[in-house]
Amino acid sequence: MPLTQFAIVKALATDKPLMLSDGFGLHLLVQPNGSKLWRFRYRFGGRQKMLAFGAFPTVSLAVAREKRDEARKLVANGTDPSVKRKLDKVAAATARQNTFGAVAAEYLAHMEANGASESTMSKNRWMLEDLASPLANRPIAEIVAAEILIILKRIEKSGRRETARRLRGVIGSVFRHAIVTLRATTDPTLALRGALLRVHVTHRAAITDEKQLGTLMSAIDDYDGWPTIRAALQLLALTMTRPGDIRGMRRSEINFERAVWRIPADRMKMRRPHDVPLSTQAVAILKEVWPLSDYGELVLPSIRSPKKILSEGAMVSALRRMGYARDEMTPHGFRSAASTILNERGVNPDVIEAALAHQDRDDIRRAYNRATYWPERIKLMQAWADMLDEFKALSVTNRRAA
């Protein structure tokens, strides 16, 4: 006869365990200490087996019956309920171990193994380990779009719209890694497309007028601050490289005999070594500041220590001291200036792109350009250095005429 709520509540403990049957294998075990435990007995593979459903009243009579019916369906379909429960526990434990933080660490290791640059690795680590830290201990398969949106909106409200958009993309990459490694089935960042505010694009300021650029170069030559800062700005203009490349320049990278600066792959944005032909003007500047780095590896060390890299902020401050505002010129603007002026003068665009170390998407074309344009790049870098001298001379003449 099936059990009733009244019969269960009124069941009293005895000096021996008491079994009250509800039918179809479900019974209530009343222990001598008064606890009342649900048990389900069934046969599978010719053996008598038992499954525990919890204690009454935490597990009610109705819930116990639901569990019994589910177990009976499994048996009817050829599945052992006890084995399934163990597998479910293993799956749950595995899911808890497959946290967002663990998968993100795998993704970063995968990026590094594929040759991502140190700057790229640093940015991705910062976004995943710092900005996305609220997700670190969450099972990745349980994370929903709303959780991610809260993090992104918090960053967006602080004024960092571009950072929020990039973080959404990086988090999405982690989820795609989880999907292909069978730790997740969906990427919740896909639902967030259009959920963030548009980014206000601000282009780096650059002086592209030849006369004005000549005035700037004269001002740099006359700069009375720290010698390495002046040299850094001069070399930035002469080599068409990025500010980070100049700041990280090592003595071992300079070959005075061949007049070449080889930037190693681990310091390049595209993770490929980049050779920079050095004009006679660039060589002269390097030889002038060379003694300042006799006790370290850096050619243009920080003011504070020969072992510390020169900060980009120091170059920015120098430009401000010369009277150039943020919307007029930036350290990165020297590259834009060179590209604009040289293109306007009709120089082969492929040679300019090779000098700027821009990556060609076509592997064959990229290899061809590296091999073919080296002589042209040597001529271009010397011609560009001579142009800068001409611009300076023109600016001096104009000032005298005025």
67 is catalytic: no
Other CB atoms closer than 10 Å to residue 249's CB: what's the count? Answer: 28
Q: Which of 230, 335, 377, 392 is catalytic?
A: 335
Handedness of CA 136, 141, 147, 148 (dihedral sign): positive
Cα separation, 164 vs 29, whole angstroms = 57
* Of 160, 271, 358, 370, catalytic: 358
Element housing 21 (H / E): strand 18-23
User: Known catalytic residue: 358?
Assistant: yes
Q: Based on the residue annotation, tell me whether 168 is a catalytic residue of this protein.
A: no
Question: What token pair was written down for 356?
Answer: 């700027």
Q: Which of 125, 332, 366, 370 is catalytic?
A: 332
Provide CB contacts within 8 A for 166, sequence distance 6+. 127
Q: One of 65, 177, 242, 247 is an active-site residue; which one?
A: 242
CA distance 27 to 37: 8
**Active-site entry in 251, 321, 345, 368:** 368
Specify whether the CB–CB gap between 208 and 340 falls below 8 A: yes
Return the H-helix or E-strand segment holding 395: helix 374-401
H helical segments located in 114-242 = 118-125, 145-157, 161-180, 210-221, 227-239
Does residue 200 carry a catalytic annotation? no
> 125: number of CA atoms within 13 Å, CB side?
11
Contact indicator for 346, 336 with CB cutoff of 8 Å = no
Query: Is 125 noted as a catalytic residue in this protein?
Result: no
**b/e 232-241 (16+ beta carbons within 10 angstroms → b):** bbbbbbbbbb
Lay out the sheet containing 274-277: strands in order across: 254-255, 260-263, 274-277
Which among 269, 271, 272, 366 is annotated as catalytic? 269
Catalytic residue check, 242 = yes
**Catalytic sites, residue numbers:** 242, 269, 332, 335, 358, 368
